Structure 1
Amino acid sequence: MSLASVIVETKPFEGQNAGTSGLRKKVKVFMEKHYTENFIQCILNTLGDKIVGSTLIVGGDGRYFSKQAINTIIRIASANGVSKLIIGQLGLLSTPAVSNLIRNQKVLGGIVLTASHNPGGIRHDFGIKYNIENGGPAPTHFTNDVYEHTKKITSYKFTPKLETDRLIDVLGTNTFNVDGRDFVVEVIDSTADYVKLMKEIFDFKKLRTLIRGTEQRAAFNVLIDSMNGVTGVYVRRIFVEELGASPDNNVFRIVPLDNFGEIHPDPNLVYAKDLVDKIQANPAYDMGVAFDGDGDRNMIIGKNAFFVTPSDSLAVIANNLECIPYFKKHGVRGFARSMPTAAAVDRVAEKLGKEMFEVPTGWKFFGNLMDAGRLSLCGEESFGTGSDHIREKDGIWAVLAWLSIIEHKNMSIEDILKEHWNIYGRNYFTRYDYEEVESDAADKMMKHLENFIATDGLIGKSFSSNGKSYKVAKMDNFSYVDPIDHSVTKNQGVRVLFDDGSRLVYRLSGTGSSGATIRVYIDSYEKKDVLSDAQEMLKPLVNIGLEISQLKQFTGRDAPTVIT
């Protein structure tokens, strides 16, 4: 039976502007009539003529409204001349898995249904982002074009009689005739391609021996928390089935739930408290791991909940890439970090003679460097780490990298960090998040800081707290010129740079769905005193950061929502 598409009249919605990584709003916003349809159509409009005859990947973290969104995507894609959709079974695909499939299948791109680390469920958040043909998040010029389309859209194309109920539940290929053209929906195993990739990168035989143990070496006891997100299906396949971890003792919360079990799926010390408590309560565990909703972020803790900052995690991996087969085969090029991330990896790059890049927040900024062959490893302080095997940060990859290092060095996580600090010194680092701040108050605080930049009001001024003094050497709003395409990205965060190398950074996050999230980053480098408590070491600079910004006066907040 041949199906016919129709044209549905619509009107623009305000605010369909993708942030750092996609459009994120409350579920009930996406449920408004025409809202999701408009945004999907505008993505396809931005792609233009390339969409006809193309193949797209579709999947996400399984949060509430995912299946309804996939049904909408199927009907709109079929009406716009897309030839094929490749969809993860039940709609599940981690963000790293989408990136891999785009690259592996050599398709036009992918639509990822996720709000990443934001909470899910009917009362919470949903998100849609587009990944381009290199597998990475759409660049700013693309998302700007989508936004322009959303402001003037008058209609979208739709195939109303295309039956989608339970279509994504069963593996296999379904072919439909729409407007005289074949339209194919292929439902695939969500894990197969990604597991194959990981087995090409890492030595699974060595990792299985590490996890299972031998007569000469005790088993390495890991506890993995998928926080009811999409990584659960990958954790079961990789860590349980391939590496021999116990499904009862080594993993938990590995069944994806559409509301994440009413928890906040953000892998940090606050929201992954269940993991931290379990590790602290049981000294038999050597390592704790948590992932976010869509699988691109990770948190690493050692025995007794010894916390590894994402900045240190990146630096340690950079310093030990020789134990990962992928890098032996492909070599190691440059390293990169986001601007707010502590500069620990910079010192590794200097010692190893590798290029080092500092980019704005957002994984899309690493893609050009990777495609140009100048970047092998990169990371963000927001618990994201990855390499050039795909064009997204990759939580499971990061954990497998750590296990490879532990197997190679035969050392505990804490001892690996202490060895690293003794060689390179330590960047004491913390981040204060003030979530769902009233937007006007957040904007006023940022304008207050920008006024100091305009007037050079802080240059040369000294601040003291808790017996420590810091003198301001420079203050700016970070700008980045891409060394590959020479595009310029401005206003990426206010930086206060002190003459001893310490830093304060202030940003408004682009990943929230309501209000504003103010993030304050505090970074201080110590060459010798590397074993002290981080929060105690940073307390003076925290106090100065709050004094300079007048954050409490502008927002009324006495304390951050999250400290990492």
Structure 2
Amino acid sequence: MSLTSVVIPTTPFEGQKPGTSGLRKKVKVFMEKNYTENFVQCILDALGDKLKGATLIVGGDGRYFSKQAINIIIRIAAANGVAKLIIGQRGILSTPAVSSLIRTHKVLGGIVLTASHNPGGIRNDFGIKFNIENGGPAPDSFTDAVYELTKKISQYKFTPDLDCEFSQTGTQTFEVDGRQFVVEVIDSSDDYVTLMKEIFDFGKLKELIRGDGSRPPFNVLIDSMNGVTGVYVTRIFVEELGASPDNNVRRIIPLDNFGEIHPDPNLTYAKDLVDKVKDDTTYDLGAAFDGDGDRNMIIGKHAFFVTPSDSLAVIANNLDCIPYFKSKGVHGFARSMPTAAAVDRVAAKLGKEMFEVPTGWKYFGNLMDAGRLSLCGEESFGTGSDHIREKDGIWAVLAWLSIIAHKNMSVEDILTEHWKTYGRNYFTRYDYEECDSDDANKMMAHLEHTIADGAFVGKTFTAEGKTYKVKQADNFSYVDPIDKSFTKNQGIRVLFDDGSRVIFRLSGTGSSGATVRLYIDSYEKDNVTCSAQTMLKPLINVALDISQLKKFTGREQPTVIT
């Protein structure tokens, strides 16, 4: 049967500007007539002549509206001359798996259906982002082009009679406008599991988890938070590494509403896991992942918390425990600007290049492609390496298990040893979610005005008996060392002469209102075992004083403390 595409008139929607990782809105917004169709068409139009005859990857975290969105993508892609779509079974693909598939199949890119760590379900969030040929999130130049197209779109192409099933693996071939159009539905985890086996020694990891006679089993509790990683956790931790499906993994069935929880792996939203590991002293390590599988949280025995900044630094200091790096070598490290500078000290000791980039994984891609970056991370629970071009939650946990197996030490002992060697960057992040956007912008304008005052540098602030002197203040900007692209307005930084920092940003990952993020980072060379909140309290009070956050937003307390 030959199918015919049609051209459907449409009008633009306001606000279809991709954020840090694509377009995120409430599900009901994406369900509006032509809303999703418009955005998908604009992604394809932005690809230009490269689209004809191309292959694209499609998949996501399985959240509500994913199946409807995939059907829309199939029908629009067929009408626009795409030759082939590779889709994860039931539409399921973690964000790291999409990146791996793009690189493995050497295709034009991939459309990822996710709002990452944001809640799902009909009342909550949905998202669409595009990953380019290297497997990473599209750069600003591409997302800016998409946004310009969304402001003037007048029609989209569609194949209304194309019905394609993607619940089972297999290949389906259609004829659309006289051209062949292929949809290949693949197992969601095969490619990714193969990649992990090339990076890590699964034999040693299995001996760690099951015990090898010389030491007892290392008892883990892995929490997928009802997100996409359940598919991968089952394959890797249960089937490959021998973990117990009853005692070592939890919430591994992907649900379209994430079981009405917020799938964000932090101390607030993963409290069930934290409490379980704290109460059950037989657990040696706990780990949680977000909805699409790119974020991770690590806790040790008794729920000893590893900050993402420390996690990145520890992995950097122990890459010789991972076969991939022993064979490939280590080229350099990078972190997002708000991330604490713990990894900088490792880079200095090891003589490796160190990069500080804006928030957003896309800024690491050029450095990796140029062979100058092997390991990177963000304080927002993201860690990854050059094996793909996305952060990778499961990879990070396997890296930690590899280090533990090699050193035969507990999570807490590894951290304590690291701090004694390098000192400690005490770090916390305060999130004030769904603030009024106007109020949040007024606060940022106040900060801009404050730091522009010539008398601000050199000014002192005192709180809780501790005094800080301003050494530098700016709105962070970045020149990419590879393509020389310039990125500005990435967050207000106030740096003090003792190495402490306070940073203020408006997040680009929310679907409504504004999320104000306050980052506090203070370095101590010797006093490394105190409570972070106790050590950081004076600096937090200084930050609240400088920003007048309570005055502008009306918020007495943050929504989440990390």
1:291 aligns with 2:289: yes
Give 1:156's aligned residue: 156
Summarize the alignment of residues 540-559 of structure 1 with structure 2, pairs less than 5 Å apart: 540-559=538-557
Cα shift readout 1:152-199 (whole Å, capped 9, x = no counterpart): 0000000000013xx010110000000000000000000000000000
1:95-494 equivalences under 5 Å are 95-164=95-164, 167-494=165-492
Quick one: distance in 1 between partners of 2:203 and 2:494? Answer: 47
SS at match of 2:227: coil
**TM-score of the superposed pair, with normalisation by structure 1:** 0.99
Q: What amino acid maps onto 2:16 in structure 1?
A: Q
1:53 equivalent in structure 2? 53
User: Partner of 2:5 in structure 1?
Assistant: 5
- Equivalent residue number for residue 81 of structure 1: 81
**Alignment gaps of 5+ in structure 1:** none
Counterpart CA distance in 1 for 2:403 and 2:465 is 39
Instruction: Give the drift of 1:509.
Output: 0.2
Distance in structure 2 (CA, Å) of the matches to 1:24 and 1:554: 25
Matched, 1:561 2:552: no
* SS of structure 2 residue aligned to 1:464: strand
How far did 1:497 drift?
Answer: 0.4
SS state at 1:514 partner: coil
Q: Report the Cα offset of residue 457 of structure 1.
A: 4.0
Q: What residue identity is the alignment partner of 1:253?
A: R
> 1: CA distance between counterparts of 2:196 and 2:161?
40
CA-to-partner distance for each residue in 1:469-496, whole Å, 9 max, x for gaps?
Answer: 1011111000000000001100100000
In structure 2, the residue corresponding to 1:277 is in which secondary structure? helix
- 3-state DSSP of counterpart to 1:484: coil
Letter in 2 for 1:50: K
Question: In the aligned structure 1, how far is the partner of 2:531 from the partner of 2:307?
Answer: 13
Q: What is the one-letter code of the residue matched to 1:143?
A: T
Letter in structure 2 aligned against 1:31: M
Q: Distance in 2 between matches of 1:150 and 1:462?
A: 47
Match of 2:501 in 1: 503
SS at the partner of 1:115?
Answer: coil
Post-superposition Cα deviations, 1:212-270, rounded to whole Å, max 9, x if no partner, equal 00221010000000000000000000000000000000000000000000000000000
SS in 1 for 2:166: helix
Corresponding residue for residue 91 of structure 2: 91
1:67 is aligned to 2:94: no
- Work out the CA distance in 2 between the residues paired with 1:331 and 1:215: 32
Q: Distance in 1 between matches of 2:312 and 2:168?
A: 39
For 1:416, give the aligned amino acid. I
Q: Which amino acid aligns with 1:46?
A: A
How many Å apart are 1:92 and its aligned residue? 0.2
Q: Deviation string for 1:349-406 (max 9, x for gaps)?
A: 0000000000000000000000000000000000000000000000000000000000
Deviation of the 1:452 alpha carbon? 1.6
Deviations 1:298-338 (A, max 9, x none): 00000000000000000000000001000011000000000
Aligned partner of 1:30: which letter? F
1:501-543 deviation digits (Å, cap 9, x = unpaired): 0000000000000000000000000000000010000000001
Tell me which residue corresponds to 2:33: 33
Taking the aligned partners of 2:319 and 2:22, their CA distance within structure 1 comes to 31
Aligned residues: 562
Distance 2:408 2:64 in 1: 42
Segment of structure 1 superposing worse, 458-467 or 480-489: 458-467
Give the partner amino acid of 1:203: D
SS of 2:376's equivalent in the other structure is strand
Q: Alpha-carbon deviations, 1:63-95, whole Å to 9, x = none?
A: 000000000000000000000000000000000
Whole-Å separation in 2 of the counterparts to 1:120 and 1:362: 22
The residue number in structure 2 matching 1:525 is 523
Give, in whole Å, the separation in 1 of the partners of 2:84 and 2:273.
41
Q: Which amino acid aligns with 2:117?
A: H
> In the alignment, residue 223 of structure 2 is paired with which amino acid?
D
Give the Cα–Cα distance (whole angstroms) in 2 for the partners of residues 474 and 383 of structure 1.
27
SS in 2 for 1:169: coil
**Paired amino acid for 1:51:** L
Q: Aligned to 2:89, what secondary structure does the other structure show?
A: strand
Identical counterparts, % of pairs: 79
Alpha-carbon distance in 1 for matches of 2:542, 2:455? 15
Show CA shifts across 1:538-563 (max 9, x none). Answer: 00000110011000000000000000
The SS at the match of 1:168 is coil
Q: Which runs of 4+ in 1 moved over 4 A?
A: none
Per the TM alignment, residue 455 of structure 1 is displaced from its structure 2 partner at its CA by: 1.8
Instruction: Quote the Cα distance in structure 2 between the aligned partners of 1:34 and 1:149.
Output: 15
Residue 118 of structure 1 aligns to a residue whose secondary structure is coil
In the TM superposition, what is the alpha-carbon distance from 1:456 to its structure 2 partner? 2.7
Q: How many angstroms apart in 1 are the aligned matches of 2:496 and 2:54? A: 52
Partner AA of 1:414 in structure 2: E
Partner of 1:534: 532
Task: Give, in whole Å, the separation in 2 of the partners of 1:64 and 1:79.
Answer: 25
- Aligned amino acid, residue 230 of structure 2: G
CA distance in 2, matches of 1:4, 1:453: 60
Q: C-alpha distance in 2, partners of 1:144/1:5?
A: 28
User: 1:266-298 deviations in whole A, cap 9, x for unaligned?
Assistant: 000000000001001100000000000000000
